[in-house]
Amino acid sequence: MSGRSIKCNITPDGRLFIVDPGLDCLPLIKKLKPDFRLQAVHPSPGFVPSFQRTRRIFMPEIAPDKLPILDTARLWELHERALKEGIESRYSNNGVSLLDLKIELARRELQRCGLCGWKCGVNRFKEKGRCGLGPGAYYDEPFVHVAEEAVITPCAMIRLAGCALTCVFCQARESCAPQPLKQLGSGLWDALASDEYFPRAAALEFGGGNPDESACAILEALAAAPGPLRLPVVMNDNGYASPVLYRLLDGVVDVWLADFKYGNDECGRKLSGVGNYVEVAEEGLRQMCGQKAKTIVRMLVLPGHVECCHEKTLEKLAVFRGKIWLSIIDSYVPDWKARNHPDLNRLVSEGEIVRLRESARSHGLRDVAEAGEEFWKGE
């Protein structure tokens, strides 16, 4: 924790924004804002993460040594059946677990990768995909985030390298390229257990960069997680994943924390380098809402994009009202290449934020900031 660098942005009017503040930032935050209080809403003490249940669902008809040679279509058939039945085995090590099956399917997916919206088809065991990643996953210094949505704060944050998007306003560009970082694996749990801060975490979040492209390594890491781990697993998704990614993580993720960045493809192409963002994001949302996991949709308000993007996004999200929680992010600061775009080289106005909050209410969308304990009890 002590080695983590802290990134800050100072606005023209003198306001300080700490990017991804952790527990180690609390003394500074309280000094700058003495009335600061950590907002946190946790699941019940008896909460069991989905992945813990999934790795206790066994299929005795599959011997472990036969798993690598079975037909992929057959494995998906068994996967869907196990997800539907969801029966935990009374006997440990009785055949292959559903989590083992997901790992095998994820490894096969990497041979012709289609995890993100690019579906580049690259064999990531031999070369890197559009995301810049091979078969492994790499993460930055983990920390406990104190400024996520209250229902997942404070969370143990695992920031993974690689991303299929090239957002000009990205605040985590340093994490997108696989630098000399740590490789994700079973050693993650030793790192978390050795730090005094992590026992205070109420959730485990995989962020980035973007974690979708590292799904195989995430599944492998969770398979090695300690049995007593009871933190909900949060997947911070950029909204540009393919349906197979959501199938692989169904029954593993407890909370989808998904972006919905744009309301039209022109802005997606100009600002993130992809031409089909809206279609992919809508399909991804359908996939998420078809699972038992909770879904929070984040909308980072971009200056000048209320009409072309955010109003249209709210109309699309209204179809999923009652199944999602909305998080309107009003803390945009020009970063990375955003200063080269005249429409993005300013802060968001109060009027833009107020307009979108009123529009969200008119569409019947639930604000996650007002969720309270209902978030963990309801749908």
Q: What is the CATH number of the domain that holds 204?
A: 3.20.20.70
The pLDDT of residue 5: 74
Within-domain flag for 24: yes
Q: Is 269 left (phi over 0), alpha (psi -120 to 50) or beta?
A: alpha
Total number of domains constituting the chain: 1
User: What's the residue count for the chain?
Assistant: 379
In a domain, 157, yes or no: yes
Q: Is 187 contained in some domain? A: yes
Q: What is the pLDDT of residue 3?
A: 60
- Quick one: pLDDT at residue 366? 98
- pLDDT score recorded for residue 141: 86
Please report whether residue 15 resides in a domain: yes
What is the pLDDT, as a whole number, of residue 379?
A: 65
What residues does 183 pair with on adjacent strands?
138
Q: Which domain holds residue 295?
A: 7-41+131-377
Given its phi and psi angles, is residue 18 left (phi above 0), alpha (psi -120 to 50 degrees) or beta? beta
Angstrom distance (rounded) from CA 292 to CA 315: 24
- What digits encode the pLDDT tens for the residues 130-152? 999 999 999 988 999 999 999 99
Residue 203 lies in a domain: yes
Low-confidence ranges of the chain (pLDDT < 50): 1-2, 178
Looking only at the bridges linking them, the beta strands covering 155-160 and 325-329 are unpaired
pLDDT (0 to 100) of residue 181? 81
In a domain, 229, yes or no: yes
- Tell me, yes or no, whether 2 lies in a domain: no
What is the per-residue pLDDT for 2? 47
- Is the whole-model pTM more than 0.85? yes
Centroid of chain to Cα 143: 16
| Contact of 98 with 88, CB cutoff 8 Å | no
Kindly state whether residue 123 falls inside one of the protein's structural domains: no
